[in-house]
Amino acid sequence: MELVSDWASHGGRQLVCRHASEAAGGEMTFAVFLPPGAEEGPKPILWYLSGLTCTHANVMEKGEYRRAAAEAGVIVICPDTSPRGDAADDPAYDLGQGAGFYFDATQAPWAGRYNMKTYVTEELPALVAAEFPADMDRQGIFGHSMGGHGALTLALGLPGRFRSVSAFAPIVAPSLVPWGEKALSAYLGPDRAAWRRHDAVAMIEDGGRVDEILVDQGEADSFLDRELRPELLERACAEAGIPLTLRRHPGYDHSYYFISTFMGDHVNFHAERLRR
């Protein structure tokens, strides 16, 4: 692992690291915030999964999570959203680089490198556990948009791994919206039954469970009705008996202005559950 940069922030350290990834077939970069006192012993870990077009840097530079994470004593890990370099690509922003969707592709030309589920649930956690003072028994996960989809599906698909899960404006039912249909068909093929294992609403319908979910959604989000459809998650959780706090915010859009406004609430939500 190579340390790319190291900044002091809120009494802790904001790092950017690079490493060779077998899952992604090349170099991957990720951000790590170590809160004050991290050298004194293992700290809870919070994974943030970014949305379409993003790298590790978007939330690191605009997400405003460090003050809350420093006060809560939580490590925050921010992976990239896809393989980079000579990875297969597509001219559209919603497929290929910057659009890994947090599952493992099975279809050419994506198979072999687009293994983002393996990367964020196996390879990167193993590296983090080896290199940082992370308490791997206390993990939470959250994300934005495509990353909110990833946070929900990974938490639902890995029972017991994460003590907490939340999302900003997540894609809750990718099988039913254009972004998701495009990615699922390209990466996984035409079998819609296989898509259900990567669709939060379908996973809940099929028996997937978490203790509770926090979601924030801007009502001025231009993707709300076509791509996000939080009402589908609301209905699925109600029918399954999963406590869902869905907060709708007038005037807020899909941007990091929205995310940064409510970031502290999410970090504190996770910190409270990670302390239990």
Options 144, 149, 254, 270, the catalytic residue: 254
CA distance 26 to 201: 33
254 is catalytic: yes
Q: Is 185 a catalytic residue?
A: no
Residue 119 φ/ψ, nearest 5 degrees: -65, -50
Residue 266 · residue 166 · CB < 8 Å: yes
Identified catalytic residue from 104, 199, 216, 221? 221
Whether 23 contacts 119, CB under 8 Å: yes
- 11: phi then psi, degrees, rounded to nearest 5: 80, -5
User: Can 21 be counted among the known catalytic residues?
Assistant: no
Determine the Cα angle at 233 with ends 60 and 152, to 5°.
40
Q: How far apart are CA 55 and CA 242, in angstroms?
A: 31
Q: Which of 145, 149, 198, 199 is catalytic?
A: 145
Q: Is the dihedral of CA 63, 161, 126, 112 positive or negative?
A: negative
Active-site positions? 145, 221, 254
